[in-house]
Amino acid sequence: MDALFDIIDSGFFKPLTGKYRGLFAACITALFERLHGPYADYRVNVTYGELRDLFQPLVAASPNDATDGDADEELDPTGKESDRVRTVICRLTETGWLETRLDKGTMVSVYGLTQTGKTLADTLYRLQGGGMRTIRRNVRYTRNSLEAYVRSEGREPYELLDAFDAAQRIMSDLSDDIDALESQRRKLTEDVARSQGEGVAEILRELRLRLPEVTRKFTVESVVQYRSHIETLLDGILYWPPERREKADSALLQAQPLLIRELATGEAPLLWLTGAIRDRVTVAMDVKMPELREAVSNFGRRIQLIVMQQSALATQGRDTAARLIERLTVRSREEQDSLLHRMADAMFPRWVRLPDPGRIRVGERAARRRPIDTGLAHPRLTREERRNAYIQQMLETAFALTEADIDRYVLDQMGAARAMSLRHFNVKKALDLLALSHSIEITTHPDSGDEWDVAPDYDDTGEIRRFDTGYGRMQAFTLRRRSRTP
């Protein structure tokens, strides 16, 4: 860790922690895109005039009121734009983001990103959505590198090292996908609550464009699909002749001398690398793939719940069959008969057709499909991995709710009341909060015993009322119970 701070100056991050951090971050990413972006002209330096022209629009567009931060920035918001641009350039040069050198061809001083500045500017550029979105193919990289290493009979050590590096990234990629799905699920809920039902189609269309990247983890980039082939290649390496394995060990140590630090006494580099690749692929399929499936399932359920909620809101106020029956109940028997007869005469006549027995043909029995071997095997997990998986399973089931739990909570809160707003429901524990957030789903439960209507509670301004649950705020709806028709 001390070597890290020998490379990075102590004031390197000051531009990104001060008052004008947004301006400095925009200037850094703009210069990175100019030199190394998709439309770069293959130059690694720019002159002072080009750098000034690049920074000047960003300085002009930056707000005069700076963000709260360290007050060590000497950037006068009331000064001239040229002076502010000069201050930005000097500041980035002093802190180690920019460096100057002499162009021997033109004998002019040019500016460029330092090696450390370029590395971190690339991260800032990608965090802000720069560059093209690509699908990471580490599972296939592992397989392809192992195939190339087997074909070379151990004479290409970098192929096995590349396979090991790609196998390490498989776990991180799956973890990133799980975190991204959870983040998108939370963002979807916040966006729908903020839009109050408007623009939901646009939000779902944006999500539809991002989901193919995750679905590839179940198809062309599936660990299940390539695990069997990867293990076959690894088993083949273990049965190499002793002479070939010794040469492969020597080549690996010569290509990567730091590998000796990871090996135990007397352990062969070839066996250690192949075992590490096997362990990572196995854990990725047995642990991370079920977590990814659960994250995708939760994401789909949240979208389904939002669509159902919006559909319920869209049908409010329409003359549905339930509202028609309610109006008929307050009328006399003669008025009911008269209205129903007029409606029957106005309806389009129905045609009743029976199937012709002569045209019915019994189809041949379809051939039984053979099961597909997915390459699943019994998990080979360590004691620590089994313990972590058990803890994760307990955490997932600790707050699991069934339809019966939701029905029981709603019925207990309502008692004998025919209608009640969610604002009057009591929340005493975490399971009550979860049941309250899913209470409107009772309208779709067939075993609740009654039929239900749900309607939003509007305030004086015509917007849906929000109430405090003690753990956060949520929209208020009224549940109305009506007896199930026989």
Burial of residue 79 (CB within 10 Å: 0-12, 13-18, 19+) is exposed
- CA gap 437, 473 in Å, rounded: 11
Q: What percent of the chain has pLDDT over 70?
A: 74
Contact in structure between 253 and 159 (CB atoms under 8 Å): no
- CA gap 251, 254 in Å, rounded: 5
Q: How confident is the model at residue 134 (pLDDT cuts 50, 70, 90)?
A: very low
Please tell me whether residues 262 and 143 are part of one structural domain. Answer: yes
Most confident option among 23-27, 320-324, 416-420, 435-439:
23-27
Please tell me whether residues 268 and 147 are part of one structural domain. Answer: yes
Please tell me whether residues 154 and 39 are part of one structural domain. Answer: no
Q: What is the pLDDT of residue 4?
A: 55
Q: What is the pLDDT of residue 482?
A: 76
DSSP code for 192: H
Please tell me whether residues 295 and 162 are part of one structural domain. Answer: yes
Please tell me whether residues 156 and 238 are part of one structural domain. Answer: yes
Please tell me whether residues 280 and 195 are part of one structural domain. Answer: yes
pLDDT one-digit tens code per residue, 236-261: 888 888 888 889 889 988 888 888 88
- Dihedral sign (CA 82, 84, 87, 88): negative
Please tell me whether residues 78 and 160 are part of one structural domain. Answer: no
Please tell me whether residues 7 and 108 are part of one structural domain. Answer: yes
Please tell me whether residues 111 and 142 are part of one structural domain. Answer: no
- CA gap 464, 449 in Å, rounded: 28
Please tell me whether residues 289 and 146 are part of one structural domain. Answer: yes
Last residue of one domain, picked from the residues 279, 314, 349: 314
Q: What is the pLDDT of residue 149?
A: 92
- CA gap 326, 418 in Å, rounded: 15
Q: What percent of the chain has pLDDT over 90?
A: 1
Contacts of 396-404 with C-beta under 8 Å, sequence gap 24+, read 396/294, 399/430, 399/431, 399/434, 401/431, 401/434, 401/435, 401/438, 403/441, 403/445, 403/447, 403/448, 404/447
pLDDT one-digit tens code per residue, 329-365: 888 888 888 888 887 777 666 666 677 776 777 666 6
- Give the range among 58-62, 319-323, 331-335, 480-484 with minimum mean pLDDT: 319-323
Please tell me whether residues 152 and 108 are part of one structural domain. Answer: no
Q: Quick check: is 372 in a domain?
A: no
Q: Which domain holds residue 80?
A: 2-127
Measure the N-to-C terminal CA separation of the chain; round to a whole number of Å: 74
Burial of residue 97 (CB within 10 Å: 0-12, 13-18, 19+) is buried
Last residue of one domain, picked from the residues 314, 333, 361: 314
Q: What is the pLDDT of residue 265?
A: 74
Q: Which of 113, 101, 83, 95 has the alpha carbon at shortest distance from 21?
A: 95
Contact in structure between 60 and 77 (CB atoms under 8 Å): no
Q: Quick check: is 208 in a domain?
A: yes
Q: Quick check: is 351 in a domain?
A: no
Q: Quick check: is 359 in a domain?
A: no
CA angle 384, 385, 391 (to 5 degrees): 90
For residue 46, what are the β-bridge partners? 111
Q: Quick check: is 346 in a domain?
A: no
User: How far from chain centre, in Å, is Cα 73?
Assistant: 37
Q: Quick check: is 247 in a domain?
A: yes
Q: What is the pLDDT of residue 221?
A: 55
Q: How confident is the model at residue 6 (pLDDT cuts 50, 70, 90)?
A: low
Contact in structure between 399 and 431 (CB atoms under 8 Å): yes
The residue length of the chain stands at 486
pLDDT one-digit tens code per residue, 162-179: 988 888 888 777 777 777
How many structural domains are present in the chain? 3
Please tell me whether residues 110 and 164 are part of one structural domain. Answer: no
Look up residue 253 and give its amino acid. L
Q: Which of 398, 463, 458, 465 has the alpha carbon at shortest distance from 434?
A: 398
- Give the range among 180-184, 215-219, 302-306, 430-434 with minimum mean pLDDT: 215-219
